[in-house]
């Protein structure tokens, strides 16, 4: 029958999971199932490998008491699939309920964030993260630094049952782009404008540099309230006509267009682990200005794939914004090298190969060291807590 694995994206990791199951579907020795919300099936139906078996369900919100019954129903579907492994992403209230209905199935959890972001550290989120790690039999992280942090923060983790693979590029968005739009004088911040992402530092830095960049505009694309400390800078830039905030939900094709219109993407994070935004920028060949937090320094180098500035350093960020805006040759070089590195070193096929070996060892109980990619160095994570 071969090895049978069911994936579950968890909250917010649909893009990552789609790329990974497509890569794993190439293995004849593996039968891949995907538990996917009905709405996301409509989104991904034309890019999902036909060899992936769909297990549709309705994803409940935390407040939906009917979620208990939906998790029971999904658990029955996973057992009917005869899954050896249930592999889910991150953590969530209903995911914690679901794994308790899956007795006899080996559980693997991809811990994208071994510690919660600074503005996600509520009692409930901390409890759910600990529970997701504790109830798993094996764990996946995206860098050696994150593996060390996982073991440091969660003593129940067994180092031998940790698999490490890079966070691959989200080439899915490139497929959604029919005709690339011309580059504009736009600097893109994509995602929720949360405090951990340094939105206040970015807005203040852009105010400083705006007089030197006539015609340039900062574009924020993402839902969510602007943090209190950032609102004065936000209002100032809006009054000056130097800020465009896209609050509406963007279909995938429009996400791709927003990225391609931007001269470069900025990730001014004060805290983080890795970045799906970097994965999109790599796929769409956009230059990136970032801070070296979490696992990012393990994958990219300053002046080679990205332009790094220290976190929470407004003057340095302002200087970086000005440097990239005024140097198109530098932007082009960074974008090209980021895309090249992603194609060669962060491949989903490499991630799939590591996982297939990991699943086999996990089920057989064979002794093994953490599986890792030799292209990833062993430096500890930067600013991870």
pLDDT in tens, 305-341: 999 999 999 999 999 999 999 999 999 999 999 999 9
Across 76-90, 238-252, 365-379, which has the greatest mean pLDDT? 76-90
**210 shares its domain with 154:** no
Do the domain assignments include residue 18? yes
pTM for this prediction: 0.86
Angle at 16 between CA 10 and CA 22, to 5 degrees: 110
Average pLDDT over the chain, rounded to an integer? 89
**104 shares its domain with 9:** yes
**25 shares its domain with 91:** yes
Do the domain assignments include residue 372? no
The per-residue pLDDT for 369 is 52
The per-residue pLDDT for 1 is 55
Query: Distance of CA 162 to CAs 111, 149, 345, 360, Å?
Result: 10, 12, 20, 13
Domain count, the chain: 2
pLDDT band at 376 (very low <50, low <70, confident <90, very high): very low
Res. 382: pLDDT tops 50: no
Do the domain assignments include residue 45? yes
State the Cα–Cα distance between residues 113 and 24, nearest whole angstrom.
23
- The CATH number of the domain where 119 resides is what? 3.40.50.2000
Res. 385: pLDDT tops 70: no
Res. 43: pLDDT tops 90: no
More confident site: 239 or 179: 239
pLDDT band at 133 (very low <50, low <70, confident <90, very high): very high
Res. 371: pLDDT tops 60: no
The per-residue pLDDT for 354 is 92
Res. 19: pLDDT tops 50: yes
For the stretch 290-305, pLDDT in tens is: 999 888 888 888 999 9
The per-residue pLDDT for 372 is 52
State the Cα–Cα distance between residues 226 and 94, nearest whole angstrom.
28
State the Cα–Cα distance between residues 144 and 164, nearest whole angstrom.
7
The per-residue pLDDT for 2 is 85
The per-residue pLDDT for 177 is 80
* Residue 191 belongs to domain spanning: 174-344
Average of per-residue pLDDT across 246-255: 87
Res. 374: pLDDT tops 50: no
- Min mean pLDDT across 52-61, 98-107, 164-173, 316-325 is at 164-173
**338 shares its domain with 352:** no
User: How far apart, in Å, do the first and last CA atoms of the chain sit?
Assistant: 44
Residue partners of 69: CB distance under 8 A and separation at least 6: none
**257 shares its domain with 146:** no
Do the domain assignments include residue 264? yes
Q: Which helix (H) or strand (E) holds 307?
A: strand 307-308
**110 shares its domain with 122:** yes
pLDDT band at 52 (very low <50, low <70, confident <90, very high): very high
The per-residue pLDDT for 35 is 96
Do the domain assignments include residue 382? no
**119 shares its domain with 262:** no
Do the domain assignments include residue 376? no
State the Cα–Cα distance between residues 11 and 94, nearest whole angstrom.
10
Average of per-residue pLDDT across 217-221: 95
For the stretch 89-107, pLDDT in tens is: 989 999 999 999 998 899 9
């Amino acid at each position: 029958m071969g090895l049978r694995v069911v994936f579950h994206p968890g909250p917010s990791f649909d893009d990552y999971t789609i790329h990974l199951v497509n890569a794993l579907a190439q293995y004849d020795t593996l039968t891949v199932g995907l538990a996917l919300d009905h709405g996301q099936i409509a989104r991904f139906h034309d890019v999902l490998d036909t060899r992936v078996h769909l297990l549709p369900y309705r994803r409940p919100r935390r407040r939906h008491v009917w979620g208990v019954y939906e998790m029971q129903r999904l658990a029955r579907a996973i057992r009917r699939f005869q899954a050896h492994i249930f592999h889910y992403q991150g953590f969530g209230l209903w995911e914690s309920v679901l794994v308790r209905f899956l007795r006899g199935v080996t559980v693997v959890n991809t811990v994208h964030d071994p510690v919660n972001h600074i503005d996600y550290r509520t009692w409930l989120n901390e409890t759910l993260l600990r529970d997701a790690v504790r109830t798993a039999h094996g764990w996946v992280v995206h860098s050696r630094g994150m593996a060390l942090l996982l073991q440091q923060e969660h003593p129940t983790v067994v180092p031998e049952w940790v698999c490490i693979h890079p966070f691959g590029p989200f080439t899915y968005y490139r497929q959604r782009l029919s005709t690339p739009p011309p580059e504009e004088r736009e600097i893109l911040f994509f995602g929720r404008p949360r405090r951990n992402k340094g939105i206040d530092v970015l807005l203040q830095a852009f105010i400083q540099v705006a007089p030197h960049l006539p015609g340039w505009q900062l574009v924020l694309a993402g839902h969510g309230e602007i943090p209190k400390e950032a609102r004065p800078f936000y209002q100032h830039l809006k009054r000056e006509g130097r800020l465009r905030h896209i609050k509406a939900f963007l279909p995938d094709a429009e996400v791709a267009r927003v990225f391609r219109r931007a001269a470069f993407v900025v990730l001014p994070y004060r805290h983080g682990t890795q970045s799906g935004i970097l994965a999109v920028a790599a796929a769409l060949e956009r230059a990136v200005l970032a801070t070296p937090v979490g696992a990012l320094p393990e994958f990219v180098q300053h002046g080679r794939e990205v332009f790094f500035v220290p976190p929470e350093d407004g003057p340095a960020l302002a200087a970086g914004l000005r440097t990239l805006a005024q140097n198109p040759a530098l932007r082009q070089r960074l974008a090209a090298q980021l895309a090249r590195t992603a194609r060669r070193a962060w491949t989903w096929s490499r991630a799939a190969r590591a996982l297939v070996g990991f699943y086999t060892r996990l089920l057989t109980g064979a002794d093994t060291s953490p599986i890792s990619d030799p292209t990833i160095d062993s430096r500890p994570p930067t600013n991870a807590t």
